Structure 1
Amino acid sequence: MSAFVPGNAPANHQTMRLAARFAFRELRGGLKGFYIFIACIALGVAAIAGVTSVSRALTEGISREGQSILGGDLDFSLIHRQADTDQLAYLNGLGDLSRVATTRAMARRPETGDQALVELKAVDAPYPLYGTFELASGEALETALARKDGTWGAVVDPSLLARLGANVGDTLSLGRATIRIADTIANEPDKLAGGMEFGPRLLISDAALPETGLIQPGSLVRWHYRVRMAPAPNLEAMEGIVEEAKSAQRDAGWRIRSRANASPGLQRSIDRFAQFLTLVGLTALVVGGVGVANAIRAYLETKREVIASFKCLGSTGGFVFKIYLVQMLVLALLGIVVGLVLGALIPFAAAAALAPVLPVKLAASIYPTELALGLVYGLLTALAFAIWPLGRAHDVPPTALFRDIVTGGAKLPRKRYLFATAATVLALAAIAILLAHDQRMAGTYIAASAGAFVLLVLVARGIMAIARRLPSVRSTELRLAIANIHRPGALTPSVVLSLGLGLSLLVALALIDGNLRRELTATIADKAPSFFFIDIQSHERDAFEALLNAEASDANLQSVPMLRGRIVSLNGIAADKFVPAQEGSGWVLRGDRGITYDASLPKNSKLEEGSWWPEDYTGIPLVSFDEEAATDLGLKIGDRITVNVLGREITAEIANTRTVEWQSLAINFVMVFSPNTFAGAPHAHLMTLGWDDDVPEETELALLKTVSNAFPTVTAIRVKDAISQVNDLVAQLAWAIRGASSITLIASILVLAGALAAGHRSRIYDAVILKTIGATRARLIFAYALEYAILGLATAVFALLAGGVAAWYVITQIMDGSFVMMPVTAAGAALIALVLTVGFGLVGTWRVLGEKPAPVLRNL
């Protein structure tokens, strides 16, 4: 009889059509047993589609509000100096012009002596060119900043009032000027353009700025010239306008940004965060793939008689494969559709939930490209984990399918299925890497995940092998638990695989977070100086140092000249066209860098290659470069670097490279020049002060008050305050990352539940037989609890090792920090594993033990 394979074999498409008919007929029985399958796929797809859609919504939001964020269509920024007459004439020719000055300063309450570091911003009358600057009272900004009764007005961030214990109407000392708090800021449209802030905003009129005395030669002030063009050019035209501006004013030395990249730092952060979360979503999909494989194996086990009937009637193994492949694809597509619907809704939910905390409004919409990416990831993951178990069913003979449920070995599927599985996995990895913002990091993450997956398989087999070789124990319950771990059809591989990846990821993130906090609050805080003093003018330097020596005679002082400069070119290649050898130090080429000069090697540096210049050196300008940055950029001794300082381009030759102790937070620079390079250039000085031993907070605050009163134009940064602010930021980011990464753990729980459900049938047989020969429910529950506890503990140990290695690599190799293992994190991971495995296991066991023996025994 040849019902499935007639004499003349049908065309391939006809065979596929026939397989599809059988597949859909079988699906009429419902989705029982596939809810975990669908949930695993849906969760991973929703994570990827949702994360990429939110990232796109943020990017679109920045793009739509680019003019308001930047404060104009174009922004030309200079540091230390203002634009000259020719440059102003050029800028005025582009469109309407507004000037903004930004710097850091100390604001003080004369009545109480309280003071705080503020981000000072001085604006002119046309500000803002785009967007609306809103005050809490609704008053016009120009009115609030106006001079009344001889005192200039200022508007402040509400947090400054809390920090100083001040109210609207109070006066503050700012440099040498007295200002009046006229109002608080409700909305600052161009706040994002300023980058990271170390203090609350204080905004004044640019007419008041000269009276503060903060503007001196070499002061760390950035001048922004915003241009509003009429009509406003489209985004495609902006790049050409920027290039034209660079050519027209080659010697200006300004940094030009357009509304097309209004906040590049924020955009880079969004891209990196989205990449990480996409990889987390992919990990959730891979973990869910284990659930897919479990569900398929369990489903095929229930179809033994059906498959046997197909083969007895003449069906080939390939035809059986096609039938169940179609079914798997249909179910996968169902899960993908659910995931895509959830992913499409996530940007709208995020826009509503995060509106109060996000610095930019999300452009919530449905983004087909991002949803298509989720579909591709979901489909490839389903195929990668479905082909293997379906392929193994290809060669199982009908007689074997009728045998007892516990028989069967671990025979590999045919080569075609092995090849198809490998090709699908490689395609999945290739897409993840090629579409990543940082391909090196994505590749490392994929390789680590693949390595962890392979290790988990080996760990599961190792646990089974050890259990198989253990000597017999006297405890019946423990003996039964050990036997359950290594017997055919054991849950060990599924449990270890399902929990291992999720727990490893969470352990790694927790250890990275803990080590970063330790580095900030302990290691760095111990090594770091207590204060940074900036904008010390040359004529004040000696008097300032004398004051510090008098007030803190037991403290250590360090002082260096400081300028700001921007790398223009390297070996004749423009910085924006230069391709670094590695990505690690690309930040050196973006924006302005602090630079200094010194006749001798700085204290916190170690010479690596080349030689230092003589103290009386008078030759061509030389520069010492940070060793790590030079390696990443592909620079060597003798290469030439051109920097723009105070509007003048200076080319220097790399004379040596040195290792810099960045972790100490002492005075360090990527570039240190020979003293003759900046002979006669106006500049300020940077000074640090620190004690060898801990001093009371009152001592630091008293010194801060004395210094601020004596030198009001010097900005003092208390390092502990800065570390505390960064630590708070790291904590918030860590919680956000761990919250997002919990998706993987949710997927692990789903897979664990699916694995236990898949073993439900065999557990019923076991329980019934054991109860028949005299086992009590209590003893069986204890035996199963021991089994799950052993598996959970083994998985936790692996998660600690794998997560610890991953965290060590990130901290020591990527962040150049020091790593310590944290026992609390270890105990937390073990507890999670034990609670999940024992908890879910006992819930399923309780249901198994409730089965009546008679119906089961009747079918044996």
Structure 2
Amino acid sequence: DAPTDAVPAPGTTWVDAALLAALELRVGQDLWLGDSRFRISQVIALEPDRGAGFMSFAPRVMIHADDLAATGLVQPASRITWRFAVAGDDDQTVRAFADWADTEVARPDVRGMRLESLEGGSPQMQQTLTRAEKFLNLVALLAALLSAVAVAIAARGFAQRHLDDCAMLRVLGVSQPVMARAYAIEFLLVGVAASVLGVAIGYAVHHVFVWLLAGLVETALPAPSVWPVLLGMGMGLTLMVAFGLPPVLQLARVPPLRVIRREVGQLRPATLAVLGLGVAGFAVLLIVASRDLVLGGIAVGGFAVAVALFALAGWVVVRVLRASVNEATAPRALVLATRQFSARPVFAVVQISALAVGLLALVLLVLLRTDLIASWRSATPPDAPDRIVINIQPDQAAPFQQTLQDAGVTRYDWYPMIRGRLVAINGQATQPERFTTDRAQRLVEREFNLSHAVDMPSHNQITGGQWTPQEADGLSVEEGLAKELGLQLGDRLGFDISGQLFERRITSLRKVDWGSMRVNFFVIFPVSALPEAPVTYITAFRAPAGDTGFDNALVRAFPNITHVDLSQTIAQVQRVLGQVIRAVEFLFGFALVAGLVVLLATITATRGEREHEFAVLRALGARSALLRQVQRIELLGVGALAGFLASLVAMAVGWALARYAFQFAWQPPLLVPVAGSLTGGVLALVAGWWGLRGILQTPVMQTLREAA
């Protein structure tokens, strides 16, 4: 195999390998096309832009354009389609041409033209790329939300450590405006430096993505534009202003009295005006970055509601713990842990909320990543049908099925197929002029592939009405067709089948996955037979592995059939799917590491308070073993509670995202809250051990002197 940008020389032809096998030809021999003879010079291994139309599945023969007229193949009523392929140097040029082409195709005097692109190609490819793009956008949103939590925690810790310094500066005569400007400039400079570093790392990591997706698009990708740089800088600075600056600006309002009275001048929650303005700006930026209003709205709205629920649940838990633990009978470690936890209720609520938000992002990513990849793989499973055969005559049905069974093919779709034209809707003739879209006009002008079956196809799903077996006056219609033609349950449709009028009422609507390799129909009669209608049969099956002569033997045994080999199409879809999954897995791992870092920051944010509290307890005689138990109980309790709350919200948000953004059926496992509680407890314990491991080793006198 070798890539080429050449075309067949005059008098020669390039052909698919399937054609050589079917006609028992070799390279160098002659092939007659119409009135002309061509020498076979090359074999086509891969044609990336072939498309997915039904006629595209037939073996390909390429000749020079100047040789076409001599073949005599183009005659009145010939089935011929012209394709004009273009390429641009940059995305803006391609988009401008696509907009112009869309305008031309939409003109009322233009019929039968359409614009093809990577996004509008085969249903499998389109669905895979669309879902992958949305998942990557979701990962970016969750990473930004995790960053918001990390910035808020870091800024509060920074402000807490500098309260005494600011009080001393106030005693020495530094005014509030001067201090506010100094800290604001310092923090913004840090934000700019961090944003620049993040953009640089992102630029380097994007090359890894290009390597992972190599081969998905057989061309050099354009150089990155300035838009990602501006978005990264804007996101970083917005995070700093919205979540980092409010606690830092409170340093300017520290009273000088704190120098001699440490209990005054503590940090207070940011004002609603400042916090609301920052959060609103951040939410707008997230929705713009998501490029999908539904995806961004569900993610941002879900997290906003989650924060409120987490805070409320944390406050309730603090109150319950304070009232429920019996200090006389409970273990001493549990009593101390509960007393420590409930002694600072505001900080406890903040810690639970921050930890739950981080776990929510992780649980949501794990659930959607697992089920999204499963849905991708189920669309084209390894045993998916890779052959479609049509035009099987009724008297050939039994011998054809026997041939399949003799070859070891035991699983296959088998349906009758009837050709019919839609001629009436509710008694009115279907005229193309009645419909506004070009697709609807084409549908009423063409013949439909109809079928009948007592049982609904197992790979279809009822979305409206009811499938009633042997309902003589019933019809089941695919929901997309019904929407395109404006059909509803109860409408009567009339089909012209070989000169006979068949009128039936729509009794059910079905959802059909056109991206699957199964046999599907727009319209099905829910009956076992239509004796008056001429019928042929269609089947889809997977060819026996390793039997290279099976296809040719089948065509020789039944020369009238139309045999379509889908193996190359399936292989291309599965190859692209594998590359997309690798990219998704890579970014998933990146977000997972970011979430774990945020969890560690959330736990270690309490290091100063814990050092002081444990030093006092040790000075009063508490043993290190007892304090370790207290620390473990508190960490396990907070982590388990945060994991439980995060799992419940993740199930709700994940269901909404799966249904309305990714559009695939998703039933969250019922054991997710249990698994989330266990995971949250273990992660909190591990993060606490790593971040707080030196607290009990610090001498008591050193800790008390630093606190004083």
1:451 matches 2:451: no
Please list the CA deviations of residues 325-380 of structure 1 after superposition, one character each: whole Å capped at 9, or x if unmatched. Answer: 333322222211211222333444544x3364432445353522221122222222
- Report how far residue 597 of structure 1 moved: 3.8
Identical positions, percent = 19
C-alpha distance in structure 2 between counterparts of 1:272 and 1:818, whole Å:
14
The 1:602–1:355 alpha-carbon spacing in structure 2 relative to 1, beyond 3 Å, is closer
The aligned residue for residue 22 of structure 1 is none
1:486 matches 2:336: no
Q: Does the Cα contact within 8 Å between 2:138 and 2:295 map onto a contact in 1?
A: no
2:694 is paired with a residue of what secondary structure?
A: helix
1:159-308 mapped onto 2 (5 Å cutoff): 173-174=21-22, 178=25, 191-192=48-49, 194=51, 204-205=61-62, 223-226=81-84, 236=96, 240=100, 250-251=110-111, 253-257=112-116, 261=117, 264-265=120-121, 273-308=132-167
The aligned residue for residue 596 of structure 1 is 449
1:426 matches 2:280: yes
1:503 matches 2:503: no
Please list the CA deviations of residues 585-622 of structure 1 after superposition, one character each: whole Å capped at 9, or x if unmatched. Answer: xxx999x999434699994586957999xx999xxxx9
Paired residue for 1:441, among 282, 295, 316?
Answer: 295
Q: Does the Cα contact within 8 Å between 1:504 and 1:802 map onto a contact in 2?
A: yes
C-alpha distance in structure 2 between counterparts of 1:686 and 1:222, whole Å:
26
Moved more, 556-565 or 288-297: 556-565
C-alpha distance in structure 2 between counterparts of 1:741 and 1:589, whole Å:
43
1:391-406 mapped onto 2 (5 Å cutoff): 397-399=255-257, 403-404=261-262
The aligned residue for residue 97 of structure 1 is none
Structure 1 gaps of 5+ residues are: 1-133, 157-170, 216-220, 579-587, 642-652, 674-680
C-alpha distance in structure 2 between counterparts of 1:256 and 1:654, whole Å:
35
The 1:234–1:292 alpha-carbon spacing in structure 2 relative to 1, beyond 3 Å, is closer
1:367 is paired with a residue of what secondary structure?
A: coil
- Report how far residue 639 of structure 1 moved: 11
1:324 matches 2:171: no
- Report how far residue 447 of structure 1 moved: 1.2
The aligned residue for residue 782 of structure 1 is 629
C-alpha distance in structure 1 between counterparts of 2:683 and 2:505, whole Å:
60
Please list the CA deviations of residues 462-481 of structure 1 after superposition, one character each: whole Å capped at 9, or x if unmatched. Answer: 44333323313543333333
Moved more, 463-472 or 727-736: 727-736
The aligned residue for residue 363 of structure 1 is 221
1:354 matches 2:179: no
The one-letter amino acid paired with 2:2 is: L
- Report how far residue 821 of structure 1 moved: 0.7
C-alpha distance in structure 2 between counterparts of 1:349 and 1:179, whole Å:
42
The aligned residue for residue 399 of structure 2 is 547
Please list the CA deviations of residues 616-659 of structure 1 after superposition, one character each: whole Å capped at 9, or x if unmatched. Answer: 99xxxx99753467569976689999xxxxxxxxxxx9974732
The 1:564–1:435 alpha-carbon spacing in structure 2 relative to 1, beyond 3 Å, is farther
C-alpha distance in structure 2 between counterparts of 1:569 and 1:401, whole Å:
85
Please list the CA deviations of residues 156-204 of structure 1 after superposition, one character each: whole Å capped at 9, or x if unmatched. Answer: 8xxxxxxxxxxxxxx9633x65566998878x5x61563699x999755
2:152 is paired with a residue of what secondary structure?
A: helix
The aligned residue for residue 530 of structure 2 is none
- Report how far residue 446 of structure 1 moved: 1.7
The aligned residue for residue 512 of structure 2 is 662
C-alpha distance in structure 1 between counterparts of 2:579 and 2:643, whole Å:
26
- Report how far residue 564 of structure 1 moved: 12
The 1:506–1:845 alpha-carbon spacing in structure 2 relative to 1, beyond 3 Å, is closer
The 1:289–1:640 alpha-carbon spacing in structure 2 relative to 1, beyond 3 Å, is farther
1:775 is paired with a residue of what secondary structure?
A: coil
Q: Does the Cα contact within 8 Å between 2:101 and 2:115 map onto a contact in 1?
A: no
1:464 is paired with a residue of what secondary structure?
A: helix
1:755-766 mapped onto 2 (5 Å cutoff): 755-766=602-613
2:508 is paired with a residue of what secondary structure?
A: strand
Paired residue for 2:319, among 465, 469, 474?
Answer: 465
The 1:665–1:474 alpha-carbon spacing in structure 2 relative to 1, beyond 3 Å, is same
The one-letter amino acid paired with 1:336 is: S
- Report how far residue 740 of structure 1 moved: 1.6
1:596 is paired with a residue of what secondary structure?
A: strand
C-alpha distance in structure 1 between counterparts of 2:330 and 2:453, whole Å:
75
- Report how far residue 660 of structure 1 moved: 0.8
1:2-13 mapped onto 2 (5 Å cutoff): none
Paired residue for 1:805, among 628, 649, 652?
Answer: 652
Please list the CA deviations of residues 107-138 of structure 1 after superposition, one character each: whole Å capped at 9, or x if unmatched. Answer: xxxxxxxxxxxxxxxxxxxxxxxxxxx628x9
2:217 is paired with a residue of what secondary structure?
A: coil
Please list the CA deviations of residues 485-515 of structure 1 after superposition, one character each: whole Å capped at 9, or x if unmatched. Answer: 3332887455544443343344334434555
Structure 2 gaps of 5+ residues are: 28-39, 74-78, 423-429, 494-502, 526-532
The aligned residue for residue 696 of structure 2 is 849
The aligned residue for residue 562 of structure 2 is 714
The one-letter amino acid paired with 1:596 is: N
- Report how far residue 307 of structure 1 moved: 3.0
The 1:722–1:520 alpha-carbon spacing in structure 2 relative to 1, beyond 3 Å, is farther
TM-score of the superposed pair, with normalisation by structure 1 = 0.59
1:382 matches 2:233: no
Please list the CA deviations of residues 374-422 of structure 1 after superposition, one character each: whole Å capped at 9, or x if unmatched. Answer: 22222222222135434666766444675446x8888554xxx422321
1:715 is paired with a residue of what secondary structure?
A: strand
C-alpha distance in structure 1 between counterparts of 2:551 and 2:585, whole Å:
38
Q: Greater RCO between the two (CA within 8 Å, min separation 6)?
A: 1
The 1:424–1:723 alpha-carbon spacing in structure 2 relative to 1, beyond 3 Å, is same
C-alpha distance in structure 1 between counterparts of 2:86 and 2:250, whole Å:
67
Q: Does the Cα contact within 8 Å between 1:610 and 1:655 map onto a contact in 2?
A: no
Please list the CA deviations of residues 494-549 of structure 1 after superposition, one character each: whole Å capped at 9, or x if unmatched. Answer: 55444433433443344345556777889999xx9986874523xx4224323245
2:336 is paired with a residue of what secondary structure?
A: helix
1:173 is paired with a residue of what secondary structure?
A: helix
C-alpha distance in structure 1 between counterparts of 2:360 and 2:447, whole Å:
40
C-alpha distance in structure 2 between counterparts of 1:687 and 1:456, whole Å:
56
C-alpha distance in structure 2 between counterparts of 1:492 and 1:447, whole Å:
24
The 1:630–1:830 alpha-carbon spacing in structure 2 relative to 1, beyond 3 Å, is same
Paired residue for 1:626, among 478, 497, 505?
Answer: 478
- Report how far residue 841 of structure 1 moved: 0.9
Q: How many residues end up aligned between the 2 structures?
A: 637
The 1:638–1:264 alpha-carbon spacing in structure 2 relative to 1, beyond 3 Å, is same
Paired residue for 1:792, among 624, 627, 639?
Answer: 639
- Report how far residue 568 of structure 1 moved: 12
C-alpha distance in structure 2 between counterparts of 1:479 and 1:705, whole Å:
80
1:225 is paired with a residue of what secondary structure?
A: coil
The aligned residue for residue 135 of structure 1 is 2
C-alpha distance in structure 2 between counterparts of 1:290 and 1:516, whole Å:
26
The aligned residue for residue 199 of structure 2 is 340
Q: Does the Cα contact within 8 Å between 2:319 and 2:342 map onto a contact in 1?
A: yes
C-alpha distance in structure 1 between counterparts of 2:377 and 2:206, whole Å:
36
1:372 matches 2:230: yes
